[in-house]
Structure 1
Amino acid sequence: MQPLPIKTTVVGSLPFPGWLEKASQQLDVYGPADVEEMIEDAVIAAIHDQVAAGLDVITDGEQTRLDFNLSFYGFIKGILANHAETRRFGPPAHDQRGKHTVVEHLTAPAGLGVVEEFRRLKRLAPEGHILKASIPGPYTLSGRLLPGEIYADRWEMTEALLPLVRKEIADLVAAGCTEICVDEPSMSCYAYKEDTRRFVDIFNRTIAPAVGKARLSMHLCFGNYKGRSVGKKTIAPMLPSFLDMNVDELHTEMTILNFAEVHLLEQFAERYDVAVGVIDVKSYYIETPEDVAGRIRQCLPYVPAEKLAVAPDCGLSQTARWASKKKLASMVAGAKLVREGL
């Protein structure tokens, strides 16, 4: 069980400072020491924004990840960029994200970089906060890969990626990480049409090294590239299969659903702690603390306060920093309003 009622947390990502986004477009002019200094400064800024908001759980803001999947492909051997498969013009959509073709069996000799991110966070973060590391699961990680002639389909690529992610999770535990979130939005996006029992099996094998050794959470959403969803926005197809996920906490979007399926959280709460999205990351309406409190109160008939955590619907990387800071502050204030009234 979590240590306090209505814990406040984030999924993982925060927006980049404007200067980091600019600098990342011209990295060839910087030396390795310059790059590392920029990364540290960006992580310090992300930590500051979370601490200033009053969050209970903080991350490094995923400041070293320029894309949810593509950044990890830099650590994986056996793939080549396939720009011919990427749409470049027109309105933003997921098919404008880069694709890579598998040209040899997938390996990650130096790991996936998450352990280094956690060690940096641990060194820079102030005491008194729970530190969380996040990592995409193998099914989601396979999402921008084309099988080429090496693998038959996405399922085979997922199986090839699974031991790479599993090892990174084991190494996180060895590095002292006690809170690990595995992001599998592709599972929630495609639960309505794929074998959900297969999803459960894949996920449970992935996180096996950390079970009983760290607090494990699973993030499910419907996509957030350029503030746009890609999946069918319903959590109903996840049930009952996802009740067999071997995790401590399950996080799902809820504000974007306008809380239409909030009653289904009761089934998840029988099995897990539940982190509920109470902030709309796809809107620039800035929620007030009273808005957030109202959303939390909609959850309480179905999730006991001691099992409830609140977070934005998804990562904040696609939301401007000025708005993210205001939204997080309102989220913490709204949680405090409800907590004080319990």
Structure 2
Amino acid sequence: MQPIPIKTTVVGSWPFPSWLEFASENLDKFGPADINEMIEDAVVNAIHDQVSAGLDVITDGEQTRLDFNLSFYGFIKGLQANHEETRKFGPPAHDQRGKHTIIEPLTAPKGLGVVEEFKRLKRLAPEGKILKASIPGPYTLSGRMLPGEIYKDRWEITEALLPIVAKELAALVEAGAKEICIDEPSMSCYAYKEDTKRFVDIFNRTVKGIVGKTRIGTHLCFGNYKGRSVGKKTILPMLPDFLDFTVDELHTEMCVLNFAEVHLLERFAEKMDVAVGVIDVKSYYIETVEDIKERIAKCLKYVPADKLAIAPDCGMSQTARWATKQKIANMCTAANLMR
């Protein structure tokens, strides 16, 4: 397929409609048929918003996920929740999210649910759109797990999760997924202090079974829980090791860096396509078309148009829907004008 110059895409998540926010906090009041209907309606809404904005690549908006990785823990056997240990009040931060202690070797007998999400998206999406599935990678997925007496540390937990994620990726390809994003924000958050070569090895072994069978992307960011970053905001420590990712497209934040490291994208573009965050998901300033055209122009100094995709910095789940729709519509208009 001929590459789309300055392709427009999203990371994965889309804001919940307000009624879904309410329903997700009152699930005990609904029956299984009600919940299935809500899920279908929510995905239809997310698709409609994205298509109306003019995106080239769309997702299901991750409308069935109540948390970036905790939602997957319900599919994984061997975990015991420790929600009573979380901080309940004060400004939002990661210590308000639950952790889970591992009490038996980790398994996912019925998979991680991503295949079902993708099949729903494929059934509901209009013809002609590129459909993207997304799934946390094993290192990021391990982030809220405590080893207990089963595993020694986070690295061992990651190794236990790696075949589970790899199996889900293979099933996604079998289901017809032409584009899959493996989200590994924990790798970019900790690139400044952890073994980046080890990160690359983990990632490449995770995707080994699907190389050449689908378009592989990865999303690297500095965190967006409740609209807050958690990582050290620099992509410099990712170089040069992250250039060895087995990946077709690498997505990185740039708005949160105020484009200070945009020149480093040239290194990535030598090895892979680059998706660049040109929309600030942590701000309610609505970027104008001219703002975004200027940001695209900065990227084009270092990334050829046929290797460049533009996107929001991160998923849109923490940004209000009214703002998301305006921001993404302006992004798509700017991309069309720059083409």
Q: TM-score, normalised by structure 2?
A: 0.99
SS at match of 1:234: coil
Structure 2 equivalent of residue 250 of structure 1: 250
SS at match of 1:203: helix
Measure the CA separation in 2 of the matches of 1:2 and 1:321. 32
Structure 1 equivalent of residue 187 of structure 2: 187
Q: Percent identity?
A: 79
- Listed as ranges, the matches of 1:216-255 within 5 Å are 216-255=216-255
Structure 1 equivalent of residue 69 of structure 2: 69
Structure 2 equivalent of residue 43 of structure 1: 43
Q: Deviations over 1:117-162 (max 9, x none)?
A: 0000000000010000000000000000111111111000000000
SS at match of 2:306: helix
Is the 2:6–2:310 contact (alpha carbons within 8 Å) kept by the matching residues of 1?
yes
The Cα shift of 1:85 comes to 3.0
Measure the CA separation in 2 of the matches of 1:2 and 1:204. 26
Is the 1:169–1:207 contact (alpha carbons within 8 Å) kept by the matching residues of 2?
yes
SS at match of 2:228: coil
Measure the CA separation in 1 of the matches of 2:227 and 2:20. 20
Residues 285 and 2 (structure 1 numbering): CA distance in 2 closer, same or farther, change over 3 Å?
A: farther
Is the 1:47–1:125 contact (alpha carbons within 8 Å) kept by the matching residues of 2?
yes
The Cα shift of 1:29 comes to 1.5
Q: TM-score, normalised by structure 1?
A: 0.98
Measure the CA separation in 2 of the matches of 1:232 and 1:286. 25
SS at match of 2:172: helix
Structure 1 equivalent of residue 10 of structure 2: 10
Measure the CA separation in 2 of the matches of 1:284 and 1:186. 25
Q: Aligned partner of 2:201: which letter? A: D
Is the 1:276–1:310 contact (alpha carbons within 8 Å) kept by the matching residues of 2?
yes
Measure the CA separation in 1 of the matches of 2:209 and 2:18. 38
Structure 2 equivalent of residue 306 of structure 1: 306
The Cα shift of 1:98 comes to 1.1
Structure 1 equivalent of residue 133 of structure 2: 133
The Cα shift of 1:80 comes to 0.7
Is the 1:2–1:306 contact (alpha carbons within 8 Å) kept by the matching residues of 2?
no
Measure the CA separation in 1 of the matches of 2:131 and 2:125. 8
The Cα shift of 1:84 comes to 3.6
Structure 1 equivalent of residue 33 of structure 2: 33
Structure 2 equivalent of residue 327 of structure 1: 327
Measure the CA separation in 1 of the matches of 2:83 and 2:134. 28
Structure 2 equivalent of residue 146 of structure 1: 146
The Cα shift of 1:36 comes to 0.4
Measure the CA separation in 2 of the matches of 1:264 and 1:81. 41
Structure 1 equivalent of residue 260 of structure 2: 260
The Cα shift of 1:241 comes to 0.2
Is the 1:222–1:232 contact (alpha carbons within 8 Å) kept by the matching residues of 2?
yes
Structure 1 equivalent of residue 287 of structure 2: 287
SS at match of 1:22: helix
> Does 2:162 align with 1:162?
yes
Measure the CA separation in 1 of the matches of 2:85 and 2:199. 27
The Cα shift of 1:2 comes to 6.1
The Cα shift of 1:64 comes to 0.2
Measure the CA separation in 2 of the matches of 1:81 and 1:249. 35
Q: Deviations over 1:146-188 (max 9, x none)?
A: 1111111100000000000000000000001010000000000
Q: Aligned partner of 2:300: which letter? A: L
Measure the CA separation in 1 of the matches of 2:112 and 2:84. 26
Measure the CA separation in 2 of the matches of 1:279 and 1:145. 31
Q: Deviations over 1:22-80 (max 9, x none)?
A: 01111111111110000000000000000000000000000000000110000000001
The Cα shift of 1:4 comes to 1.2
The Cα shift of 1:94 comes to 1.1
Measure the CA separation in 2 of the matches of 1:251 and 1:16. 23
Q: Aligned partner of 2:118: which letter? A: F
SS at match of 1:276: strand
SS at match of 2:334: helix
How many residues align? The count is 339
Measure the CA separation in 2 of the matches of 1:114 and 1:295. 33
Is the 2:170–2:210 contact (alpha carbons within 8 Å) kept by the matching residues of 1?
yes
SS at match of 2:41: helix
Q: Structure 2 regions of 5+ residues with no counterpart?
A: none
SS at match of 1:267: helix
Residues 36 and 196 (structure 1 numbering): CA distance in 2 closer, same or farther, change over 3 Å?
A: same
Measure the CA separation in 2 of the matches of 1:218 and 1:63. 20
The Cα shift of 1:90 comes to 1.0
Q: Aligned partner of 1:182: which letter? A: I
Structure 2 equivalent of residue 277 of structure 1: 277
Provide runs of 4+ in structure 1 moved above 3 Å.
none
Is the 2:83–2:97 contact (alpha carbons within 8 Å) kept by the matching residues of 1?
no
Q: Structure 1 regions of 5+ residues with no counterpart?
A: none
Q: Aligned partner of 2:258: which letter? A: N
